[in-house]
Amino acid sequence: MKKKTNYTDIPSHEKLPNIYLFNPTCEYAVANDQPSWQPNRLLQKMEEDLGTLPLIFARPNDVVLVKKIPPPEFLSTLQKINITPPRFLQLNEVIKNTDFISQPKNRLLPWGWSPAAHRLVEPLKPSCSEKFQTSPVANWKPEYREIYSKKFALELLKKLLPELPPEKILPPQLISTVCYTKPEIEKCIKRWEKIMVKAPWSSSGRGLQKVTKTPVAEKVWEKLLGIINEQGYAIVEPLLEKVLDLAFEFELKNGKVTYLGISRFLTDGKGQYQGNLLNGWPQEINPEITAFAESLPEMIIKSLVKLIESSFLAKCYEGIFGVDTLIFRDEKNNLCVNPCLEINVRQNMGLLSLHLEKHISPNKTGVFKTFYNPNKSFSEFKKEMENTNPLKLKNSKIESGFFPVTSGFKDSLFGAYILVKG
């Protein structure tokens, strides 16, 4: 349940509305580096269908900019679990609405910043609070591009590893490498045999290519060299025996980092994001693995926070970010961790999941998942799930069943939902 805000305790600018926008393609926009960049048609559809997701963070007086206004019946469903929806305004209308443009606002909070995001919200900046206008995210600078790359995370990882217990972390011989040419990638294959190649600017497990067979097929080489041609280089790492994905969630403000919690996320065989576990671990996961996972914050957070506060990130960013980690088994079958696999410099599904956990009965575990099926609308999927997994509530919290957190328009290809098993 969202806490009621006691307005007497907060600064006046904080009483003004924050303006949210769901633009999860921000890393691609950063890679492109042009204010005029636009995602492809399918990604535009994803941003449209999932555009209401920031409502999970927003207060009732905040505004979420969307391409489609959600229907009243969806908003009344949210009230069942004590979510009071914010205001929704159509993005293309807002940018032309002089009244809204001139109204005082607190902060602009897109999912992530990029030259394209700045261009989109530029008309709204003059009416924002001084706190926002003097923050490092109020304007884009070319040098900011680097903090969004996996190369920046790799540099941080190299500084972090010497601070941590060597028997529990990624050994030096397994640290990723930056490759600019085909021969450099070939050298990595020779060294590690099986590799994962990543685009420096990408998100949610896109821009990944596994190489498990040699000789490498021509089509695979086309993809690998395509990454280098498009983004300048590729990040290459050994393919590890993955056990679990975890992320640490943080907020950065005035150069200081606050740890917000741990999020447990799910990926498919290709490494693409599938969803988050809510309220702990499913019973089928080995207790040895969950115990290792739960021990990581104490082992890593203090050193990680110190490093980030002394890095370029602390100088040029303000807001939410997540650090992905990877738990794997080494050649001796011991559990180890890569404590800084990637840094997501933006709002993310992990933090959204931490917010959603408040709406589930404390003794229940569940999943937050995203939906995409080119042959079925989210609306059809929603009807099926509501029939097979009817919603049960207790004290306005989900006891069991299916709960959609995005509205299912008839043409929605994408959606997001909570599923709690009884």
Pairing verdict, β 63-66 and 87-90: parallel
Distances (CA, A) of 39 to 13, 31, 248, 309: 33, 12, 28, 32
Query: Which residues does 108 contact at the CB level (< 8 Å), separation at least 6?
Result: 18, 19, 21, 121, 124, 125, 128, 132
Q: Write the CA distances from 354 to 121, 174, 338, integer angstroms.
A: 27, 31, 22
Q: Residue 105 has what pLDDT?
A: 97
pLDDT at 95 (0 to 100): 83
| 3: pLDDT strictly greater than 50 | no
Model confidence band, residue 205 (pLDDT cutoffs 50, 70, 90)? low
pLDDT at 266: 87
Q: Report the chain's mean pLDDT, rounded to a whole number.
A: 94
Q: Amino acid identity, residue 414?
A: F
Burial of 74 (0-12, 13-18, 19+ CB in 10 A): middle
pLDDT over 50 (residue 369): yes
Say whether domain 147-353 belongs to CATH 3.30.470: yes
- Asked if 362 and 66 touch (Cβ cutoff 8 Å), the reply is no
How does strand 256-267 pair with strand 241-253? antiparallel
261 sits in the region (left: phi over 0; alpha: psi -120 to 50; else beta) called left
> Which residues are CB-contacts of 69 (< 8 A; sequence separation ≥ 6)?
88, 89, 90
Whether the per-residue pLDDT at 22 is higher than 90: the answer is: yes
Q: How far is CA 44 from CA 26, 37, 39, 409, in A?
A: 12, 12, 6, 15
Closest C-alpha among 419, 417, 420, 406 to residue 67: 406
pLDDT tens sequence across 223-275: 999 999 999 999 999 999 999 999 999 999 999 999 999 999 988 877 788 89
Strand ranges across the sheet with 195-198: 177-179, 234-238, 195-198, 208-211
Predicted confidence (pLDDT) per residue in 146-181, tens digit = 999 999 999 999 999 999 999 999 999 999 999 999
Question: For the chain, what are the domain ranges?
Answer: 7-140, 147-353, 360-420
What's the confidence (pLDDT) of residue 8? 44
Asked if the model's pLDDT at residue 5 lies above 80, the reply is no
* 2 band by pLDDT with thresholds 50, 70 and 90: very low
Distance, in Å, from the CA atom of 317 to the CA atom of 322, rounded to the nearest integer, reads 13
- Predicted confidence at residue 7, as pLDDT, reads 40
- Mean per-residue pLDDT for 19-35? 95
Q: Whole-angstrom Cα distance, residue 181 to residue 236? A: 11
Phi, psi of 274, rounded to the nearest 5 degrees: -120, -30
Does the structure show a pLDDT above 90 at 100?
yes
User: Taking residues 21-34, what's their average pLDDT?
Assistant: 95
Of 274, 303, 298, which Cα lies nearest the Cα of 372? 274
Quick one: pLDDT band at residue 12, thresholds 50, 70, 90? low
Please give the average per-residue pLDDT across 213-231, as a whole number: 95
